[in-house]
Amino acid sequence: MVRLQFVNTSRFGIMRWKSIAPIQNTVSRYPIIWTRNIAVLTEDMKKDAEIHGGLKSMDSLPGPRTFPILGNLEHIRTKFMKMHITQLKNAKKYGPMYKDKLFRNNAIIVQDPDICKEVYRAEGKLPHRDFSISLREFLKAREKMQLPKSLLDLNGEEWAELRRKFHKKMLAPINMKMFYPQFSDVAVDAVECIRRLRDENSIINDVREEVLGKWALESIGKFVYGFRTGLLDQTLTDENKRFYEGIKIVLTNAIFLSRAKWLKYIFWKAYADLNKGMKDWHAIGMKNTKKVMEQVKNAEEMGKTLEDSIANSLTCYLILTKNMDFNECSVHAIELFGAGYDTTSITTSWVLHWLGMNPDKQEILYNEVIDRIPEDGRITDAAVQRMPYLRACIKESARLTPMIFVNMRSFPEDMVLRDYIIPAQTPILLSNYNMGRDESIFPNANSFMPERWLRENKEEDEIHPFTTLPFGFGARSCLGRRIAEAEMQVFLAQVVRQLKIKYIGEEQEGDNIFGITLPKSTFAFYDR
Ligand code: HEM
């Protein structure tokens, strides 16, 4: 239990609630007892600092050498593709909180779970996220289509009101249960797809591109529309090809072109592809929404009962219980495909990497799965509950190689964090990657040891809850978390049960592209 006391914690005479000592109960490795909570910088604090000293400017934070326009040359030398590795090296030199620069932009990198906790807790009920920077070109292209605003466009009360509409359906574990067997059917088809695409040496060159991306979208389709879209079929329809290519091109090009406003004038082909991809993705997404709407309308008019899977779909839920119209349902459904496509496929590809590199751990997982899988081979939520090693493998992979290597936060006002003044809007990068590789937090940090997450293991009790947060934290954390977990659990159980996985290549650190840690994904899959 965390005990709170109203105390004068600072030289500035500011009274605030503090957690005292007890963090030790849960987090024995981090006995930080007196920490100044992150707080908005007030005029009083400034005055006190002038009189007594104490507050330091962000410039005095330690950090690598940077240059006015170019920023940190190491990022340029590594073509911005090894930022996670550079950060890890810097963490060793500069400690738990340091400053860095990406071109002109200052940022703070944090790799201490206690400081991360303070930052996450400070964001309150309406965390602000500005996607207009990283996804500007996507949002603009969508604006041209005159569609309603979505979770990505919105902030403040408007965002909170919209997000509440999805909570029960997407985040309540009880509602996710029914999707396990459905995701299991999709996973069986994905395993068949792997079998089909293997060469004569059982190798697939890029399983993420050839199978995992389509499997992730097909699973989301089942949740969102309640029917199969056919992305794992042997021959893709022309429509499905356009849908898949559309999502891929939009995500890649939008993130690239959003980096600077002038890029679209030079890379005009990328810009044209982005707009074409948007049209294809949205047109086909809207066609699918229409299909659900028609079925709901027909059922109502003719007094028929809806097919179970359609009745349980997100679209049906939004129409019937949230009164959303066609455009609203379409835009939210389409957005979920974008949010869940590369996140889930990349994260899963990393788990396959670690299992492929560690045959002994893969064997433990195999034994667990065949022991607990239901007789008909359809994996239920109850079956997964009895597979702790499976869940531990996913967690351990996310610790070693989180797909999103930093969670970002920024505040609209100047803040004080550990006596440093952090100017408003400065990105604070909370480094999942660095904390995951910290030996003082995780002994044998570079080894794949799922056992450390098992309940019976003492280490599990001591792991600070803010070290491994692949889905973010708080009010704005990942809305698709339960879906992604369910998809990955049933897919990995189905693969391991039927195939032996071997990663082709050395242990890899992956490239970091636009903040995403991207693995190579060449694997051999041998029949068991
Ligand atoms: C393993 C897969 C996934 C990972 C690692 C992941 C990770 C994340 C992270 C880190 C955030 C930001 C959280 C924060 O800042 O605190 C996020 C937001 C979000 N994710 Fe995911 N995600 C995954 C899968 C999905 C899926 C499958 C969906 C949808 C079906 C989804 C929908 C969303 C949405 C809508 C948001 C924005 C929420 C908001 O702004 O209110 N994600 N995700």
Distance 479 CA to ligand 1 centre (A): 5
Distance 221 CA to ligand 1 centre (A): 16
Strand order in the sheet with 420-422: 39-40, 415-417, 420-422, 56-57
Query: Which ligand 1 atom lies nearest to the CA of residue 404?
Result: 10
Taking the CB of residue 134, how many other CB atoms lie within 10 A of it? 18
Nearest-10 crossing angle of helices 179-197, 481-498 = 50
Buried b (16+ CB within 10 A) or exposed e, 245-256: bbbbbbbbbbbb
Query: Which ligand 1 atom lies nearest to the CA of residue 472?
Result: 16
The answer to whether the CB of 466 falls within 8 A of the CB of 487 is no
Question: For residue 54, what pLDDT band results from cuts at 50, 70 and 90?
Answer: confident
CA dist 432 and 402 (Å) reads: 7
- DSSP result, 79-120: TTS-HHHHHHHHHHHH-SEEEEEETTEEEEEE--HHHHHHHH
| Ligand 1 site, CB within 6 A | 129, 151, 163, 220, 336, 339-340, 343-344, 347, 403-404, 407, 470-473, 476-480, 483-484
Distance 340 CA to ligand 1 centre (A): 7
> In terms of pLDDT, which residue wins out, 346 or 81?
346
221-261: pLDDT as tens digits: 999 999 999 999 999 999 999 999 999 999 988 888 887 78
Max mean pLDDT range (7-21, 103-117, 309-323, 408-422): 309-323
Least confident of 13-27, 49-63, 103-117, 372-386: 13-27
CA dist 361 and 457 (Å) reads: 16
Distance 276 CA to ligand 1 centre (A): 25
Distance 470 CA to ligand 1 centre (A): 9
Distance 348 CA to ligand 1 centre (A): 15
Question: For residue 12, what pLDDT band results from cuts at 50, 70 and 90?
Answer: very low
Distance 161 CA to ligand 1 centre (A): 18
Indicate which residue's Cα is closest to atom 31 of ligand 1: 480
How much is the pLDDT for 506? 86
Distance 26 CA to ligand 1 centre (A): 27
> Average pLDDT over the chain, rounded to whole?
88
DSSP strand pairing (97-102 vs 105-110): antiparallel
For 180, the enclosing helix (H) or strand (E) is: helix 179-197
Which positions ≥6 away from 240 have C-beta within 8 Å? 229, 230, 231, 233, 284
Residue 171, SS3?
helix
Query: Which ligand 1 atom lies nearest to the CA of residue 473?
Result: 16
pTM: 0.90
474-526: pLDDT as tens digits: 999 999 999 999 999 999 999 999 999 999 988 888 888 878 899 999 999 99
Which of 212, 343, 404, 488 best tests ligand 1's pocket when mutated (most atoms within 8 Å of CB)? 343
151's tokens: 């979770």
How much is the pLDDT for 93? 92
Which of 135, 220, 395, 478 best tests ligand 1's pocket when mutated (most atoms within 8 Å of CB)? 478
Q: How many CA atoms are closer than 13 Å to the CA of 351, on its beta-carbon side?
A: 26
122 to each of 33, 269, 330, 407, how far by Cα in Å?
18, 42, 34, 14
149-186: pLDDT as tens digits: 999 989 999 999 999 999 999 999 999 999 999 999 99
316-334: pLDDT as tens digits: 999 999 999 999 999 999 9
Counting Cβ atoms within 10 Å, is residue 435 exposed (0-12), middle (13-18) or buried (19+)? buried
Indicate which residue's Cα is closest to atom 42 of ligand 1: 480
